[in-house]
Amino acid sequence: MFAYTTRRLLMLIPVLIGMTLITFSIVHLIPGNPAQVILGETATATAIEDLEESMGLNEPYFVQYSIYITDLLQGDLGTSLRSKTAISTEIWPYVAATFELTIFAMLFAVIVGVNAGIISAWKQNSWFDFLAMLFALIGVSMPVFWLALMEQWVFAQQLDWFPSSGRQNNRDPMQPITHFYVLDSLIHLDFARTITNLKHLVLPSIALGTIPMAIIARMTRSSMLEVMKSDYIRTVRAKGSGQFLVIYKHALKNALIPVLTVIGLQTGVLLGGAILTETIFSWPGIGRYVYEAINYRDYPVIQSGILVIAFIFVMINLIVDLLYKYIDPRIKY
Amino acid sequence: MSEEILNINELHTHFFTDNGEIPAVDGVSISVNKGEVVGIVGESGCGKSVTSLSIMQLVPSPPGKIVSGSIEFKGENLVRSSKKRMKQIRGNEISMIFQEPMTSLDPLFTIGNQLREAIRLHQNVSKKEAIRKSIEMLKLVGIPRAEEVIDEYPHQLSGGMRQRVMIAIAMACDPEILIADEPTTALDVTIQAQILDLMKRLNEEKETAIVLITHDLGVVAEICDRVVVMYAGQVVEEGTTREILKDPQHPYSKGLIRSLPKIHERDQKLYSIPGTVPKPKMGMVGCRFKDRCEFAYDRCFEENPALYSIEGNRRSRCFLSDDPEKVVTENAEANIGS
């Protein structure tokens, strides 16, 4: 396990370097000159030259890149053009907001998806199986924005069960500590607020988690059906074990390996693809942050936002790979 | 003879597929006595494995279903037993090992975990006691470094070792019957002999009856007391190992024995029975072996042969052995709905 982990961590290095190379190039792929873009079309030639000088843009690329990397390693993501503050301090609340939403969306997707998949496989061709797979099909095909709007209309507008937007009651904001609001409210021992914060999470989590839930359910079902036919499952039955042990111990663990891949990939997709949901539910997450930066042509923020999302994606894949090894002793790198 | 513990009577296990109903096991009757080793022999696709899975009530369903007949284990009809009762019987009173040791163990759990599971499903013992028993079982089946092997995973063991582990699991609760479905087919020859020796030894020490399913007459000669030859879902011949090997009555058994390589006739071309096993289907008329049989005559194409008793417990499903006085069972074909 230790050797595997070490090898897997070493493999991260080229990936991370590749990532920074790409985000670094973004600025240089902008048509025209970055200094020109920052200062706008009406800037004078001397102003542009001065800015290039101060930003180090007249240095060779590899010098610029090494400065960029050195800054990154020190936790310096640059300065936002719009707010003029350091991105590294500004970005965290957005990252935390997205993380919180993603965690709840994935909890919903995994708990519902895996169990629906198991029961569908267990009772193959039953009415439950039929209904669950029909819902899964609708789930994967439904546009997220439409689902989100429908949720708001039904559960916020008509029934008034859940708030339609935001992370908390904005008339009564709390003092954030970690910026994970549910966690913060627990730290404050303010449980009424915890309930409110959880209520804010329900609709966006379902909107965001529906597609992964449907994919996970279908994957779990087919993987379970495959495993249930295997020789070792027959052995377990021949030992005299009941259906529950067969399914939840042996079949599930074996079926989980491909499902885990899907869970990992989907988590990454959610992190990067939460923009729609975050916009509709006014959720101040990283997707919204980058989206607004794009509107303002705030290149350092776009660059950093992409870097952070990519970094999280890579980390999730690392976790998935480590879980593989934990589940399947045969895996070698 | 000694006490009978398993009596399969007129078992019909059919598969209901898109291409119609397939009688994979079509009226099989076999009995097994306490401590006896019975071989079930036949080519691939003749219903041996389905017969054994029927005993365990593990026929994949759907599409498989036991349509009629009974399987009596010490007087209890397993076909009618509840699921709960079958769970108590499986792995405890009747256990089973399979052909593919490479895939028959769960790759994600340690050997110890899988052995312990078998023990704790049927015996109310502590985890510690189960571990101790597991190590003891591994030693019994001849696994060196048993204390270490319990913490290893199946992929760390060789095929022969895994089959030993399977036997250890099967024997963990001292079953009365061990069903071995081609236990040595996937192993190389020297390991085969070791596994057979082990099974023979357990049979003698623990008085476990063994139902050995195989297509290998060499294996049969090695350890079986009695042999049942199956063809296309039916029993075609039955007798002691000696009788069947020395003096086969049914043309199919004769063919099987002729097709064994003989050491002093090495220049000759190896004999093989022409043709293949017909796919069983409903309402077949005539002897099932007729198309491959060198003795086939008119009657074989018109009537279904019954299982004729020859002498003692010898039986053969061939008109050559026909003696109206000695019909054991009429062929049940006519009684079964199509």
- Give B9-59 pLDDT, tens digit per residue: 888 888 888 888 888 888 888 888 888 999 998 887 788 888 988 988 888
Residue B68 pLDDT > 80: yes
The reply to whether B163 falls in a domain is no
User: How many beta carbons lie within 10 A of that of residue B221, not counting itself?
Assistant: 15
Instruction: Name the B residues in 1-60 with CB < 8 Å from any A CB.
Output: 56, 58, 60
Per-residue pLDDT tens digits for A82-141: 788 888 888 888 888 888 888 899 999 999 999 999 999 888 888 998 999 998 898 888
Residue B23's pLDDT is: 85
pLDDT of residue B331: 45
Selected residue of A232, A256, A331 to mutate for chain B interface (largest B Cβ count, 10 A): A232
Is the omega angle on the peptide bond into residue B62 within 30 degrees of 0, that is, cis? yes
Please report the pLDDT score of residue A111 as a whole number. Answer: 94
Q: Label residue B250 exposed, middle or buried (CB < 10 Å: 0-12, 13-18, 19+).
A: buried
Domain ranges within chain A, ordered by starting residue: 2-89, 92-327
Residue B152 included in any domain? no
pLDDT of residue B336 exceeding 50, the answer is no
Q: What gap in Å lies between CA A37 and CA A266, rounded to an integer?
A: 35
Which chain B positions have a beta carbon within 8 Å of A231's beta carbon? 98, 100, 103-104
Look at residue B334 and tell me whether its pLDDT is greater than 70: no
Cβ-Cβ contacts under 8 Å, A242 against chain B: 87
SS3 (DSSP) at B84: helix
pLDDT digits (tens, 9 = 90+) for B229-263: 988 888 888 888 888 888 888 888 888 888 877 77
Are the C-beta atoms of residues A77 and A88 closer than 8 Å to each other? yes
What's the pLDDT at A333?
61
Contact B98 A240 (CB under 8 A): no
Residue B144 belongs to some domain of the structure: no
Mean local confidence (pLDDT), A286-313: 86
Q: What share of chain B is helix, strand, coil (3-state, %, to 5)?
A: 35, 25, 40
Alpha helices in B36-95 (DSSP H): 48-56, 83-89
Domain CATH code at residue B267: 3.40.50.300
What is B266-330 written as a DSSP string?
TTSPPP--SS-PPPP-TT--S-TTGGG-TT--HHHHHSPPPEEE-STT-EE-SGGG--GGGEEE-
**Which tokens in the block code for residue B261?**
């390589």
Q: Is the dihedral of CA A206, A210, A214, A216 positive or negative?
A: negative
Number of structural domains found in chain B = 1
Residue whose pair of structure tokens reads 């708030």 in the numeric block: A163
- What is the mean predicted confidence (pLDDT) over A223-236? 90
Is the Cβ pair A239, B121 closer than 8 Å?
yes
C-beta separation of B59 from B50 below 8 A: yes
Q: Which amino acid is at B115?
A: L
Confidence of residue B335 (pLDDT cuts 50, 70, 90): very low
pLDDT-above-90 percentage for chain B: 5
Residues of B within 8 A of A327 (CB-CB) are 108
**Inter-chain contact A328–B107, Cβ cutoff 8 Å?**
yes
B87 to A231: CB separation less than 8 angstroms, yes or no: no
Interface probe, candidates B50, B104, B106, chain A, greatest A C-beta count within 10 A: B106
In sequence order, which residues have a C-beta less than 8 Å from that of residue B75 and are 6 or more positions away? none
Residue B274 falls within a domain, yes or no? yes
d(CA A204, CA A198): 11
Residues of A in contact with B182 (CB under 8 A): none
pTM above 0.90, yes or no: no
Determine contact: B88 vs chain A, CB below 8 A: yes
CA–CA distance, B64 with B16 (Å, rounded to integer): 6
Task: Please name the amino acid found at residue A221.
Answer: R
- B90 vs A233, A240, A253: nearest CB: A240
Residue of A nearest to B106 (CA): A232
Q: What is the pLDDT of residues A183-209, one digit of tens each?
A: 877 887 878 788 888 888 888 899 889
Task: Give Cβ neighbours of residue A218 (< 8 Å, ≥ 6 apart).
Answer: A117, A133, A136, A140
Place of tokens 């109310």: B124
**Residue of chain A minimizing CA distance to B105:** A232
Asked if residue B1 has pLDDT above 70, the reply is no
Q: Which of 232-251 (A) contact B at CB < 8 A?
A: 232-242, 245, 250
Coil, strand or helix at B37: strand
Q: Tell me, what's the pLDDT at A148?
A: 84
Q: What is the mean pLDDT of chain A?
A: 85
pLDDT at A227: 92
Structure tokens at B225: 């007391």
The size of the A-B interface in CB pairs under 8 A is 74
State which residues form the domain around B318. 4-93+173-335
Work out the pLDDT band at B337, boundaries 50, 70, 90.
very low
Can you give the pLDDT at residue B323?
Answer: 59
Question: Looking at this predicted complex, what is its ipTM?
Answer: 0.82
User: Which architecture does CATH list for A92-327?
Assistant: Orthogonal Bundle (1.10)
- Please report whether residue B245 resides in a domain: yes
- Looking at the DSSP bridge assignments, the partners of residue B40 are B213, B228
Does the residue B116 lie in any domain? no
Give the model's pLDDT for residue B254.
85
